[in-house]
Structure 1
């Protein structure tokens, strides 16, 4: 397919790398003066985690600074510009006028509502606009949250989901719009308590990370919160868990922290994290990609890839 990526930041170049890896032809558009250099640098950084030849990937990528020219023959448009509602409205007005009339228009926004973005668009363009929110880094993590606006067509959602699956993604369609969608809301809830625990001197940032990677991380990599608690309840499942341990859990909910990200807190958290991990972004990113690739490979080897039915899980458990 011919895909146009609007925006050549980290998310856009990560998408570009993945799509080229899966055999799509990718046009990247961005007004930045160093567009070609930024794309080439990003693809060369991300390609090793896919065990791909960066030159082969870049052969499928072209850069076009003019937005209208870039989307003129696109079969899919993906936008990942700044989280600015007015800017996205302006971008999609231009994209909708220049792209083919049947092309789905996807935004990687991490929290803006598609209904709000499409407010001023004609019905025919609004019908093609939807959120396809990836989890960072898009070239590795399979989740994409699909969110329809109040005028998004069923056909556009179906085409977008099929396209995402062609790139190895696991699209999850939300039943309704909600600020921040699902993954970021969960991440925000956990991080709020993490900030509270660090701010109150219970643990350091590095120690908290060890707690997560040694407990919740591997647990949730093989089964999310509901499955984990369903199994934690023994033969009685989630019902038993909630009936017996739910009251204590609810009491802890009332005791969870509600920290403020004031200047002092931001500085203290940032300084402690920088001290623990340093500031070599390239090295840290490479290490992250290597570790996440190993986790995803292990999941795949165990038969955990995307949605699993009870029958599939039982089959895996008896191997």
Structure 2
């Protein structure tokens, strides 16, 4: 039996302190949780503090939960100490299957079996990760988008031995924690959002490799074209709106034949040294020497403003619906 009430959780353990693990720590701290972060090495602490300081600027602007404070963070290099009081565990260690399997095998032995363990993996299956775990029924994938403290999506899917109770409980927990969980129907490599993102990424690489577009042109096209629409609607709804009164049916009837045209190439191109250099040099030129911190602040400011705009639109829509009642 899992912890009875996911809304009563107060103590979170984050395993890993990189961009994802540290980002999760920032999110949970901003929501008023007590967070214990497990570090593989004490050398990671400075990087974690820098990430939290950068994140806190945007999180403060977004609005902190009552009691939220960076002082609610503890860190340790002892895995046993890190999970001792955990009521929920968010794992974000490197994407190496054997590494994760060994960790879950150990967690299965030292963590209360009623505590859910969620993996931030972006591509590995929970069926594989949980294969050596003594208590696999309480483990599942909970894949965030970066930065986890600003983007609400969490793609959730269990493995073959994950219980339905675990998935349902964790969905309620993430909603209480201010996230937008998406429970998948089945395990699929890359989940949903990453697969869609990967399709665009592969096409971008093809265009650079073939001299059809530069890095800057590709980003210019997305930022000034579909990007702003995607912040408000997904591709299916956009096509539905694009069909006017006829909706999606009009779009499919009008443009369905174009699906057979060679407009995209889903097979990944060979990452030759030349293509790698073109991508690296193109990004360096496009970003004009800006460092990671300044780029992160730029991205975060934009994401905060988009989130605030979406919130205002949602509130206005609810207000209009209330007035019509």
Q: TM-score, with normalisation over the residues of structure 2?
A: 0.89
> Equivalences for 1:70-219 in 2 at 5 Å?
70-122=82-134, 125-219=135-229
Structure 2 residue 238 is the aligned partner of structure 1 residue 228: yes
Partners of 1:40 and 1:58 within 8 A in 2? no
Q: 1:10 Cα shift?
A: 1.2
Structure 2 residue 287 is the aligned partner of structure 1 residue 281: no
CA distance in 2, matches of 1:258, 1:43: 35
Which portions of structure 1, spanning 4 or more consecutive aligned residues, are displaced by more than 4 angstroms?
253-258, 311-316
Unmatched segments (≥5 aa) in structure 2? 1-9
SS at the partner of 2:114?
A: coil
CA distance in 1, matches of 2:266, 2:167: 37
| Residue 20 (structure 1) aligned to one of 12, 29, 37 | 29
Partners of 2:33 and 2:68 within 8 A in 1? no
Matched residue, 1:298:
309
Unmatched segments (≥5 aa) in structure 1? 305-310
Matched residue, 1:38:
47
Q: 1:250 Cα shift?
A: 2.8
Q: 1:312 Cα shift?
A: 6.9
Q: 1:238 Cα shift?
A: 0.9
SS at the partner of 1:28?
A: strand
SS at the partner of 2:41?
A: coil
Q: TM-score, with normalisation over the residues of structure 1?
A: 0.91
CA distance in 2, matches of 1:38, 1:140: 19
Partners of 1:110 and 1:180 within 8 A in 2? yes
CA distance in 2, matches of 1:259, 1:120: 35
1:115-157 CA-partner distances (Å, limit 9, x unpaired):
01111222xx110000000000000001000011111112211
> Equivalences for 1:1-12 in 2 at 5 Å?
1-12=10-21
Q: 1:201 Cα shift?
A: 2.4
CA distance in 2, matches of 1:77, 1:51: 24
Q: 1:253 Cα shift?
A: 4.9
Matched residue, 1:260:
270
The structure with higher relative contact order (CA 8 Å, sep 6+) is 2
SS at the partner of 1:118?
A: helix
